[in-house]
Chain A
Amino acid sequence: MKNAILKKEKLDDFIKIMSKDEKVIAPVLKGNQSYTFTEVKSADEISLKYLPTILPPKKYFMPQHETLIEYDKRNGQKVHCVVEVEDLVIFGVHTCDLAGIQCLNMIFADRPKDMNYLIRKNRITLIGLECNSYCDEFASCALMGNHIPKGGYDLLFTDLGNYFFVEINTRKGEELIEKTNLFENADSNHQEELNKLRKLKESIFKPEVDIDKNEIPSLFKKKFESKIWEDIGERCLSCGNCTNVCPTCYCFDVLDIPDLNLKTGKRVRVWDSCQNEPFAKISGGESFREKRGDRKRHRFNRKFRYPVERYGKFFCTGCGRCSRTCMAKIDLKETIRDLIKEGN
C-alpha cells in the first residue's frame, strides 16, 4: 500500500480545495475546553489538538433529527420513504470515534438493514487523525484498544512534527490525494518516524483499568446484582447526557410531525435515551427499568457485555465522553474498578 505525506503548511490548501466541492467538517474550539465538529473553510479554524468533541461524529451518520417518511393522507395513506443526505468530508476524527462509527455500522447493517443510515454513510469521507498522547484523564482508549488505528477511515493523518504521515486506506482517499495534488510520496524515513511514534505510544498508552479486556463481559455478568448499581443509581440524575455524547449509543424514537394543514407531514427519527424513565415503559403502565440504577446498569451492560454477546464487539470506544460530561461525576473507569474491587 502506498502512503503519503502532507507538509503542515499545505493543510490550509488541502481544506480549502476540498471545501470548494463539498462541506468539510472538522474539530473547532467553541469555548473553554469544548470542541465541536462543525463546518470549516480553512485550516486555521481547526483545532488539531483537541479533547473529544462534545458530540461525536455520530451526529453526521445518525442525525439527531431525520426524516424517514413524508406522508400525504389526502387520498389514502400515501407515504414516500426518504433519506436526507449530503456529501461530507469529516477531517480530524480520532481513532476512538472511528471505532464508534464502526459500531454504528455494525448495528445498522445488521438485518433488517437500515437504509437511511447505510445510504448516508456512503456519502461521507472520513479522514482520521491519530492521537500521539492522551487527550485527558477520562480516556480509556488503551483498555479498549482504540488508541491505535484499526481502519474505518479513507485517509489517516498522523502528526509527525512539520508534516503529516498519511495512510491511504481507500480508493476514495486516494482520489482526494490526486485531486488536491498537495501530497508527496512517503519514503522510508517517514515510515521510520511513524514506527518510532508508534513505539513511543506503546509506552504512553497502557490499559487504564487493570483487567484483561476479554474478562470484562463476564465481570459485568457476575456483578449484575451488585450494590454498586444501586449506589450509582442514587447519584444518577437520569439526564441522558451520557447517551447523547456516546459515539455508540444509537437508541431512537420515531414520531409523526404533521404540517399545519394536518393532512401532510413527516415521520421522523430522533435520538432517545435508555436513561429516560419512560424508555422501557409499555402502554399498560409497567416500566421494565424503573430505577435509575437499573437503567445505568443497562447502559453499562450495553457497552461491555450485551454487544459482545450479540455482535462480538465492545460498544465502549474509550473516548471518555460519558465520564467527562456526567453532572453526577459517575466515572466509567472508576465503576469498572469498583466492580473489580468488590470481589465475589
Chain B
Amino acid sequence: MEKIHINNSGYEIVPAKIVSTRKMTEQEKIFELKLVHGLSLDHEPGQFVEVSILGVGEAPISVCSSPTKRDSFEICVRAVKDGRFSNAMHNLDIGDEVGIRGPFGVGFPAAKLEGYDIIMVAGGLGIAPLRSLINYIIDNRREYGKVSLLLGCKDPQSMLFADEIDLWQKRVDINFSCTVDRGAPDWKGNVGLITSLIPNVNIDPERTYAVVVGPPVMYKFVIKELLSKGIPEHQILVSLERHMKCGLGKCGHCQIHNIYCCQDGPVFSYNNIKELKGAI
C-alpha cells in the first residue's frame, strides 16, 4: 500500500493556542483560542468549528465569540459524564494547543437581520452559540431595531456568562429578561420556564426576527409562543444541535431527513424545517 500526502484534505487542522480560560460553572469552561501564524478564524455568528485533541478525537463546538473580535475566538465546553473529549478539553490550560477545522455551516444571517427588531431566546447552553450573535449585534447596534434578549437556565448556579449578563442587563439598548426553572434563596429574578418571558415582550411581529437556541426539548414550546405573537415562520431562526462528526456533509451523523445539519445548518429558518419530523 502506497501512502500519498495530500495538501487539500478536508481533515487538515490548523493548530490554535489556548490564550486564556475561564471556568464558568462546575461543568462549563470557556477557552480563548488563537490560531497560529496570526490567522483569523473569520467566522459568521452561529458557525461551529471541529476542535481536535490529537489522540482523543474531534468534537463540533460552536464559536461563542463575535467575529467582530478578530484576533482570537472563544469556545464554551461543557464537560459531560463519560465525555472523553470534553473532559480532556477541560484538562487543558493556557499555552496548550488544540487543532481547528472550520468554521463550518450556515450561521445567523446577521446582515439580513439589519433593520429588523430582534428577539433572541436562549436556553441552557444555547447561550453559547447565541452569544456570538448577541455581541455581534451589540458591536453593530446601530443597524438593528429594538433588541430583546430572553435567557433561561435550570438554576442560578448554572447561569453562563454571568458577568456579561450583568452588563447586558444594564444596557439601555437591550430589553433583557431572564428566568430560572428552579430558584435559590438569594435569587431575586423570575422563576419559571423560558416561554413565560415571551408574552411580556412588546413586538411588531412583521418587522421582528426571532432567534432561538436551546436544548432540543425547548424549541417546540418557544416557537409556539413566537408564532402566537404573530411572527412569520420564515422570521423565526433556530440553531439545531446534532453530532456533526465530519463537518463536511458526508459522515451522516447529523443528517435530518435530506439535510446535513453541518453544511445546510446549524441555523435554519423555521419554515424550512417545520415539515421535517424529528427536526425539532
Q: Which residues of A contact B (CB under 8 A)?
A: 67-69, 71, 73, 76-86, 107-108, 110, 112-116, 119, 224-225, 250-256, 258, 262, 265, 267, 272, 274, 279-286, 288-289, 294, 298, 301-302, 305-307, 309-310
Contacts and interface: CB of A to CB of B under 8 A. Distances in A.
B258 interface: yes
Contact of A69 (B9, B80, B86): B9
Contact of A77 (B5, B11, B54, B258): B54
Q: Top 10 A-B pairs ranked by shortest CB distance?
A: A251-B252, A81-B9, A306-B258, A77-B15, A258-B55, A71-B54, A68-B11, A309-B258, A310-B258, A77-B99
Contacts of A108: 250
B9 A68 contact: yes
A82 B258 contact: no
A77 B99 CA distance: 7
Contact of A82 (B4, B83, B97, B243): B4
A306 to B, nearest CB: 4
B124 to A, nearest CB: 9
B2 interface: yes
Given A253-B245, A272-B251, A284 B215 contact: yes
Contacts of B251: 251-254, 272
Interface of B: 1-13, 15, 52, 54-59, 78, 80, 83, 86, 97-99, 125, 215-216, 241-243, 245-246, 248-258, 277-278
Contacts of A286: 215-216
Contacts, number: 150
B55 A252 contact: no
Contacts of B54: 71, 73, 77, 79, 256, 265, 267
Contacts of B86: 283
Given A116-B6, A294-B278, A283 B252 contact: no
Contacts of B252: 250-252, 272, 274, 279
Given A83-B6, A254-B246, 19 more contacts: A69-B13, A76-B97, A81-B5, A81-B6, A82-B3, A85-B3, A108-B250, A112-B10, A116-B9, A252-B245, A254-B57, A262-B55, A267-B57, A274-B252, A284-B215, A284-B241, A301-B257, A305-B258, A306-B258
30 contacts: A68-B9, A76-B15, A76-B97, A77-B15, A77-B52, A81-B7, A81-B12, A83-B4, A84-B1, A84-B4, A112-B10, A112-B248, A114-B10, A251-B253, A252-B245, A252-B250, A254-B57, A254-B58, A254-B246, A267-B54, A272-B252, A272-B253, A279-B253, A280-B243, A282-B241, A283-B86, A284-B216, A285-B80, A288-B278, A301-B257
B190 to A, nearest CB: 24
A77 B97 contact: yes
B5 to A, nearest CB: 6
A283 B11 CA distance: 22
Contact of A80 (B5, B98, B258): B5
A119 to B, nearest CB: 6
Given A114-B250, A262-B55, A119 B13 contact: no
Contacts of A79: 12-13, 54, 99
A73 B98 CA distance: 10
B245 A115 contact: no
Contacts of A258: 55
Contacts of B6: 81-83, 115-116, 119
Nearest to A70: B3
Nearest to B11: A68
Contacts of A69: 9, 11-13
B250 A107 contact: yes
Nearest to B82: A283
